[in-house]
Structure 1
Amino acid sequence: MSRIRSPQLTHFLSIPLASPSLTASLSALRRDVLTTLPGFPIKAIRPVATIHLTLGVMALDTAGPRLKAATDALLRLADSAPDIIPDTPLQVGLRGLSMFDESTTSNANVVFANVYGDDVTRLQEFANRVSRHFIELGFVVDASVKNNENKNGDDITTPGAENEGVALHATVLNTRYASYFASGASSNEGGEPVDRKKGKKKYRKIRPSFDATELLAKFQNTVFMEPMHIDKLAICKMGERKVEDGGGYEIMAYIPLP
């Protein structure tokens, strides 16, 4: 029986979080990581411009009718589904570091900052409603299709058709961005086999891991960002822009929030 291939993900619903206070705190985290974990892959440290909350991932086209339909749906959200938009401003901060599976701290791929603040419950309700709305419209990939296959990271946190909640988190370390190809890699080194040949050698894509135990304990109560106003909901294109300021994601459309 042939395997059903997952849809190619191209965009995501996002709440951007970049701020001056976050810049300072993540710079401090960066210095600590590189000091505490010699040899840590620097590409795994996420640039401040990329820090966000993912509300859903999308399988659209790059510049075609599905992308236009999805952005139009976002721009019309206040008119088509006014009950989704919060009545009053939302504020959220980031505090402490966590992993999805705390039993694997010695073999980590992704570490994220937790949301906190008086409005977390309201933010969670907003995120769930937005994600369900775009699932129903056929733009956000249902978790029952994607199956949260990257539960140790990569922001695949879309709720399924059941009322599972969006896993609100802001990824700060992700070794997917430090993956590399190596020849003769054995299966116990991790990574997925890749049909890539150079000469007669076969190569395997390796995703490095690291021991996050000490890091999580040290920063468990650290405030990385004081509660700030959540001012927009955006559809972003996957893949960072390569620019001098550290990049960020291209925003295809956004709406302001109260």
Structure 2
Amino acid sequence: MDVMSPQLMWIGTRCYRVNSVSDQKVHQMYGQQEESKPYIEEDLYEEDDRELEYDIQIKEGGKFQTSFHVPSVFFAMIIGAKGATRRRLEVETKTQIIVPKQGSEGDILVKGSSRRGVVSCRQRIELIVLGARSRQPFTHFLSIPLNSEEIKRNFRIFREKVLTELPSAFTLDDSLFQKAEKLHLTLCTMSLMDNEDRSLAAQLLQNCHETIIRPVVEEFGSVTLQLRALEYMNDDPRAVDVLYASVESDALQRIADQMMELFVANGLMQRKYDRVKLHATLINSLFRDNADGYGGVDEKRGPRVTFDATEILRDFGHYDFGTQKVTEIHLSQRFSTACDGFYEATGMIKL
């Protein structure tokens, strides 16, 4: 681990530094003849937001326990090589961790003689799961369909002009452009690994209507956006991977930021930025010959090939795609297509 740049993870509103402990140290701890006092990091916060939400039960004999859902794909990370990770957590928090057998579903159960130890163990397991989840390819994303006739019409005009009027058009082809039916804003992406994950994400989306969206709509009257001006995700405009349109909407920015906070607090995604970058992807080098239209990689294809966007930025840098009233937010499924040409929705709310 780079001590100058340690791995950081967020759970709720707390930021934690992830410290690794070698398996050798675990064996040394178990090899001691005299029982050593396990180390439990002191909680510098008087009250932890997440602890207040935990269902900690008191069983016979004054024992504490908590059970919680973890997708089975992450069980191996909690157990570790030859059980080293689980043993380390149990020693350091004075708890017992019960993980369902391989190939089965079920909740993780943590037991201990102290509430503090049980809470600490659960928090550390959630850190492990969050880190493992962040390394998975994303499966779903919160999206806003850009389905107004004005925006779709102006996008088609933009695509036609770029392909037919610019000298650099020979380096591009139609497959690099987003499909007009799938134009959207991405608010955030997440990896939902099982039905429980998907159910939780859909329920959180529904909860956003009253807690986040309604107050914003009452303040602004409605949520509208304007799509204009081009930006790119590389340092060199001659070698661009993604070209996108900027979004202007104070109301939508507030909604997106608060929704991101909610999904981060519930462990379904990791915080990467302080604010959501509102954007609509127009051209992506990964779209080449890709039927999905989001950027899924065809393993049979070679590495990403960048394109020169200097002429596009020069002639269309301030292009106005139009405005749209936001009427719905989707929990969209990656690599899918619904009957209307957009993505299949795992959940949806109307504004």
Q: 2:286 corresponds to which letter in structure 1?
A: R
Aligned 8 A contact 1:178 1:208 in 2: no
Aligned 8 A contact 2:212 2:258 in 1: no
Question: Kindly tell me: are residues 80 and 25 of structure 1, through their superposed partners in 2, closer, same or farther at Cα, counting changes over 3 Å?
Answer: closer
Q: Deviations over 1:132-175 (max 9, x none)?
A: 111111123432xxxxxxxxxxxxxxx3xxxx111111101011
| Greater percentage in strand | 1
TM-score computed with the length of structure 2 as normaliser: 0.54
Q: Deviations over 1:56-94 (max 9, x none)?
A: 1111036x1110111012123234557765323111111
Counterpart in the other structure of 1:228 = 324
Q: CA–CA distance in 2 between the matches of 1:52 and 1:228?
A: 12
Structure 1 regions of 5+ residues with no counterpart? 144-158, 181-193, 197-202
Query: How far off its partner does 1:22 sit?
Result: 1.6
Q: CA–CA distance in 1 between the matches of 2:305 and 2:233?
A: 17
Counterpart in the other structure of 1:74 = 205
Bigger relative contact order, structure 1 or 2 (CA pairs below 8 A, ≥6 apart): 1
In the alignment, is residue 249 of structure 1 matched against residue 346 of structure 2?
Answer: no
Q: CA–CA distance in 2 between the matches of 1:204 and 1:38?
A: 20
Aligned 8 A contact 2:246 2:278 in 1: yes
Counterpart in the other structure of 1:40 = 172
Counterpart in the other structure of 1:151 = none
> Residues 84-103 of structure 1 correspond to what in structure 2 (within 5 A)?
85-87=216-218, 88-101=221-234, 103=235
| Greater percentage in helix | 2
Query: How far off its partner does 1:107 sit?
Result: 0.3
Q: CA–CA distance in 2 between the matches of 1:23 and 1:216?
A: 20
In the alignment, is residue 175 of structure 1 matched against residue 285 of structure 2?
Answer: yes
Question: Kindly tell me: are residues 241 and 78 of structure 1, through their superposed partners in 2, closer, same or farther at Cα, counting changes over 3 Å?
Answer: closer
Question: Kindly tell me: are residues 136 and 256 of structure 1, through their superposed partners in 2, closer, same or farther at Cα, counting changes over 3 Å?
Answer: same
SS at match of 2:237: helix
Aligned 8 A contact 2:264 2:270 in 1: yes
The number of equivalent residue pairs is 210
Q: 1:237 corresponds to which letter in structure 2?
A: Q
SS at match of 1:97: strand
Find the structure with the greater CA-based Rg: 2
Aligned 8 A contact 1:11 1:59 in 2: yes
Q: 1:239 corresponds to which letter in structure 2?
A: F
Q: Runs in 1 of length 4+ with deviation above 4 angstroms? A: 79-85
Q: 2:228 corresponds to which letter in structure 1?
A: R
SS at match of 2:344: strand
Q: CA–CA distance in 2 between the matches of 1:232 and 1:99?
A: 27
Counterpart in the other structure of 2:87 = none
